[in-house]
């Protein structure tokens, strides 16, 4: 049996575009059609059903819930801010609060308003100013209901998928553009961090806790060769730590939000920089169970990643951790094995203060559509019926007691 600290945050995460439905003013909406992808359409209709969804959250003993605000609803056309959309999110937050659930709010989770993308997106020198204008509008109104903010979800995933690998809109494939977007996103976070703190000071409420949700992988060498050890060291710095070093140097993190799913098995066949930075092992000599998207399941990696964060001396919230699978037993195994590693890291002195499973419910998994099932709650997309999975019920016991009965 392992016991987690009192006051630990337990819950699950979602993002607006993936669950709300009908986000027709976001850049992904036309892109799905152009790129011939499955359409997000009505998704889980969470925009309408959030109250009953939060009843389920409550019944599952979650005391925290992460959600995101859809910028394209708030500002559907440049400079035109929707009071109605804002009020919707006030209602959402109040619905959580009356159920005793702490909201954790993301301001940017991969999607942008169409007008923003059409005018250059995150490559337009005005992007940071535009993002801040939206943040200002939202944070002033929502500040009374929110303590925890995530400015940007997984900046490294966003700029690499959208600007280097060409997999997401705007499908750029340029290392220079990616670098420019990386710099703008860092600036956007730092400026938003300062703005959020300034607003709380002006309104005279207790200071907020602001971070990014940073995607971290366990970076492991395929063998102990000098090349691979070197590859692991530079990738660990570049992919996992660099952004945190930069943001802490600018004093722009109150805690660290970590999204952890899998490992990255480095194998560089040559000393060429491209191989050192990117080549992964294609052999089958380290077989691990995989999720339905083919990602390795590697629970001990969460422990390693958390230990790497100890030196930052900041609280850590696991803002996402989860598995897509058709077998719900695997989901419970995944949760248990990852929680064991969270507990280990607590014993090693890492100040982990919360764990949010990804995701509360099955949802639109970006370019993969609705196939992957990450949810604690099953969604029947024909009827929109919600069914709580067994793994969710078992996790609910942990949320209630703070105790994991280990096998």
Give the footprint of ligand IFM on this chain (CB under 6 A). Answer: 15, 18, 154, 259, 320, 358, 365
Least distance to ligand IFM, CB of residue 320, Å: 5
Least distance to ligand IFM, CB of residue 389, Å: 17
- For residue 213, CA distances in Å to 64, 110, 243, 313 come to 15, 12, 11, 17
Least distance to ligand IFM, CB of residue 227, Å: 30
Closest CA to 67 of 117, 101, 25: 101
Contact present, 395 and 376 (Cβ < 8 Å): yes
Least distance to ligand IFM, CB of residue 315, Å: 20
**Is the Cβ of residue 40 or residue 259 nearer to ligand IFM in the bound state?**
259
Least distance to ligand IFM, CB of residue 77, Å: 25
**Is the Cβ of residue 8 or residue 366 nearer to ligand IFM in the bound state?**
366
**Is the Cβ of residue 154 or residue 279 nearer to ligand IFM in the bound state?**
154
**Is the Cβ of residue 67 or residue 231 nearer to ligand IFM in the bound state?**
67
**Is the Cβ of residue 42 or residue 157 nearer to ligand IFM in the bound state?**
157
Spatial distance between the Cα atoms of 212 and 231, rounded to a whole number of angstroms: 26
Contact present, 228 and 283 (Cβ < 8 Å): no
Least distance to ligand IFM, CB of residue 366, Å: 6
**Is the Cβ of residue 117 or residue 262 nearer to ligand IFM in the bound state?**
262
SS3 string of 329-389? HHHHHHHHHHHHHHHHHHHCCCCEEEEEEECCECCCCHHHCCCCCCCCEEEECCCCEEEEC
Helices 328-347 and 390-401: crossing angle, nearest 10°? 20
Contact present, 96 and 65 (Cβ < 8 Å): yes
| Cα four-point dihedral sign 58, 62, 64, 66 | negative
Tokens of 44: 């889980």
Least distance to ligand IFM, CB of residue 70, Å: 13
**Is the Cβ of residue 215 or residue 389 nearer to ligand IFM in the bound state?**
215
Q: Which letter, b or e, does each residue of 260-277 get, where b requires 16 or more Cβ atoms within 10 Å of its Cβ?
A: bbbbbbbbbeeeeeeebe
């Amino acid at each position: 049996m392992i016991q987690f600290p009192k006051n630990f945050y337990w819950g699950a995460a979602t993002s607006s575009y993936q669950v709300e439905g009908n986000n027709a003013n976001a850049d992904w909406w036309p892109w799905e059609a152009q790129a011939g992808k499955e359409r997000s359409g009505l998704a889980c209709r969470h925009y309408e059903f959030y109250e009953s969804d939060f009843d389920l959250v409550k019944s599952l003993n979650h005391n925290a819930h992460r959600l995101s605000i859809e910028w394209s609803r708030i500002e559907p056309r440049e400079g035109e801010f929707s009071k109605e959309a804002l009020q919707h999110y006030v209602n959402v937050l109040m619905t959580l609060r009356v159920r005793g659930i702490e909201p954790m709010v993301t301001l940017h989770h991969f999607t942008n308003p169409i007008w923003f993308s059409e005018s250059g997106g995150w490559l337009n020198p005005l992007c940071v100013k535009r993002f801040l204008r939206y943040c200002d509008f939202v944070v002033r109104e929502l500040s009374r209901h929110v303590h925890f903010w995530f400015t940007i979800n997984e900046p490294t995933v966003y700029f690499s998928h959208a600007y280097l690998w060409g997999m997401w809109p705007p499908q750029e494939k340029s290392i220079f553009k990616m670098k420019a977007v990386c710099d703008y996103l860092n600036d956007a976070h730092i400026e938003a961090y300062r703005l959020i703190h300034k607003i709380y000071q002006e309104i005279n409420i207790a200071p907020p806790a602001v971070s990014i949700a940073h995607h971290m992988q366990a970076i492991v060498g395929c063998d102990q060769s000098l090349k691979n050890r070197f590859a692991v060291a530079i990738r660990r710095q570049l992919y996992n730590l660099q952004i945190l070093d930069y943001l802490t140097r600018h004093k722009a993190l109150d805690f660290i939000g970590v999204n952890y799913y899998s490992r990255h098995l480095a194998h560089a066949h040559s000393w060429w920089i491209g191989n050192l930075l990117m080549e992964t092992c294609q052999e089958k000599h380290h077989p691990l169970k995989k999720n339905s998207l083919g990602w390795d399941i590697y629970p001990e990696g969460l422990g390693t990643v958390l230990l790497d964060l100890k030196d930052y001396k900041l609280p850590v919230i696991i803002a996402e951790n989860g598995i897509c699978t058709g077998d719900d037993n695997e989901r419970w195994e995944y949760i248990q094995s990852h929680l064991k590693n969270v507990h280990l890291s607590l014993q090693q002195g890492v100040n982990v203060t919360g764990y949010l499973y990804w995701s509360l419910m099955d949802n639109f998994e970006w370019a993969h559509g609705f196939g992957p099932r990450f949810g604690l709650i099953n969604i029947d997309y024909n009827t929109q019926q919600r069914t709580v999975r067994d793994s969710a019920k078992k996790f609910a016991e942990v949320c209630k007691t703070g105790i994991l009965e280990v096998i």
